[in-house]
Amino acid sequence: MTIHKKLMQLSAASLAVITGFALTPTKAVAEDVEVLLFSMPFTRALAELEADFEAKTGLTAKIDVIGQDVFENRITLSFTGKTGDLDVVHAPVIQLQRWVKAGWLRPITAETAAMATKDDILAGPLDSFVVNGEQWGLPFLAGTGMMAYRTDLLSEAGFDEPPATWEEMLTVAAAVKEKGTPALAMRVAPGQGFNMFVYPQIMRAYGGKFFADYPTDLTPSMNTPEGLQGLEVYSKLMNDYGPEGIGNFNFGEVTAAMQSGQVAMIIDESGLIAQTLDPEKSQFADKISIAAVPSGPAGRSPAIAVHGLGIPADAPNAEASFKFIEWATSEETLTKIAISAGFADFTRASVADNSDVTERFKSIHPDFLSLRVQMLNDAIGHYRPLIPQWPQIGQAVGENINAAVNGIMSNQEALEAADEEIANILAE
């Protein structure tokens, strides 16, 4: 055989191999259940329990945990590509309306109704997965807003109690900052799950709202005197009393600032607040206490986030998928993770009643579990509007709010821009 013939055969073979790879379906790993979650204490702990699932069901699972930033893109590609490469997906309630409208999830109404332990799941988180009368997922996490504060730093500044209102927060923050420590850190980085997880707590406390009368009248209504007051307080707290660089802080930086003693108070999600109280993860755990999210003239509105597990519409084996969901959200698994990882946002009543769990959290803080329940009771279900366009609206509003806090535009301009952009998105 001549050299050129050999070369041609080699080239053709290479091409065949390359195109073969490109055209082969993406599901190459032979696990029974492929799971994609985004990173948070619960999901990271769950990923370490793959062997438990196999022992319990005889099925194998591969649990991939990726960053929240990239999760949305990864899942969108999988859903729209209809690759069938995933059996179970992390399903934040805030995305649920959008995913259901797009037909990306498979309902699990009948399977849920047949569960023997269904009534043990907290009703609020369970019902938040009902859209158009169908159940689309089961919850594993119900997080809420909470404050963590340094008792020693507040005491040095002359305060024995944490601020109960946002007005008090301004006073306390000024006094703490005066003593030389940044007073308060909250998320400011733009995003519907970033600054738009924490900012509505202030906005709603001052009477601000997204829409004129949700859900019947969706006229954008952020630019009101109440909304402006809320944004002014948020901007002032972050700019005047926050740590250097707060304008780019996300939950990671907020939590780390508290754990490393660089800030006196933080307000963030309950599961992350629990991490600041854990002596293994926090240098100043013995000096940190917890409190309710401050209230305002219109009351208190703690943040709420419910996350669960759902089954993609194109999942090849729905029965195995549901078995995984049932196991991952079971009393046994939630209890195990509550104890091992200090996971506080569990969604089953039996876990809250478990003596080992209550002991675990008493060792972190005696009031942690009761404060969590109080905050969940105070939170409203539509803290972030439950409409399919929310992810897009939340991103746009979050960018404008971030611009205001960082002085790129005024508070008033940011709210005007937010209203205009919400209207445009809803009109699309």
Partner 1 sequence: MQDYVGVQPVFQRNYNRMLLPAVIAVGIFAVLPLAGMVALSLTDFHLINGWDKEFGLKNFIRLWNDRRFMSSLNVMMLLSVFGVIFQVLLGLLIAVGLEKIVPKWRFMRGIFVVPFVVPAVAVALIWLSLFTPTLSPINAFFDLFGITVPAILTTQYGAVAAIVIADTWASYPFVMLLILAALQGISGDLDEAASIDGATKMQIFFRITLPLLKPALLMVALFRFIETLKHFPLIFIMTNGGPGRTTQATNYYAYIQTFQSSNVSYGAAIAVFLFLFAAVISFYVARANMRISDA
Angle between helices 368-378 and 355-364 (to 10 degrees): 90
Q: How many CB atoms within 10 Å of residue 289?
A: 15
Binding mask 355-394 for partner 1 (x = CB under 8 A): ---------------------------------x--xx--
Q: Which tokens sit at 162?
A: 């944490």
By rule CB under 8 A, what string of x and - marks binding of each residue 259-278 to partner 1?
-x-x----------------
Asked if residue 69 binds partner 1 (CB under 8 A), the reply is yes
Of the candidates 128, 270, 321, 400, which one interacts with partner 1 according to CB under 8 A? 400
How do beta strands 105-106 and 304-312 pair? antiparallel
Out of 26, 155, 171, 248, point to the residue binding partner 1 (CB under 8 A): 248
Residue 283 sits in the site that holds partner 1 (CB under 8 A): no
Residue list 172-191, contact with partner 1 (CB under 8 A): 189-191
- The Cα angle at residue 44 between residues 42 and 47, in degrees rounded to 5: 105
Best CA proximity match to 272, nearest among 14, 42, 100, 7: 42
**Quick one: which segment of 29-37, 70-78, 147-155, 169-177 binds partner 1 (CB under 8 A)?**
70-78
First to last CA, the chain: 64
Rule CB under 8 A: say whether 408 interacts with partner 1.
Answer: yes
CB of 193 to partner 1, least distance (A): 11
Binding piece for partner 1, criterion CB under 8 A, among 82-90, 136-144, 225-233, 241-249: 241-249
Contact (Cβ atoms closer than 8 angstroms) between residue 305 and residue 68: no
* Residue 246 vs 293, nearer CB to partner 1: 246
Q: Does 406 bind partner 1 (CB under 8 A)?
A: yes
How many CB atoms within 10 Å of residue 388?
16
Distance in angstroms (rounded) separating the CA atoms of residues 235 and 153: 22
CB of residue 6 to partner 1, shortest distance in Å: 11
DSSP 108-171: -HHHHHT-TTGGGB-HHHHHTTEETTEE--EEEEEEEEEEEEEHHHHHHTT-SS--SBHHHHHH
Tokens of 212: 């004129």
Residues 2-21, interacting with partner 1 (CB under 8 A): 2-4, 7-8, 11-12, 14-15, 18-19
Query: d(Cα 334, Cα 337) in Å, to the nearest integer?
Result: 5
Binding segment (CB under 8 A) for partner 1, from list 145-153, 268-276, 355-363, 397-405: 397-405
**Least distance from partner 1 to the Cβ atom of residue 318, Å:** 23
The residue whose two tokens read 């060792």 is: 363
Is 219 a binding residue for partner 1 by CB under 8 A? The answer is no
- Strand-pair category, 217-220 with 211-213: antiparallel
| 395 is an interface residue for partner 1 by CB under 8 A | yes
Q: What is the C-alpha to C-alpha distance for residues 328 and 29, in angstroms, rounded to an integer?
A: 21
Q: Which stretch binds partner 1 (CB under 8 A): 198-206, 209-217, 375-383, 398-406?
A: 398-406
CB of 244 to partner 1, least distance (A): 4
- CB nearer partner 1, residue 84 or residue 388: 388
d(CA 243, CA 246): 6
Interface residues with partner 1 (CB under 8 A)? 2-4, 7-8, 11-12, 14-15, 18-19, 22, 69, 72-73, 76, 80, 98, 101-102, 189-191, 194, 243-248, 250, 253, 256-257, 260, 262, 388, 391-392, 395, 399-400, 402-403, 405-409, 425, 428
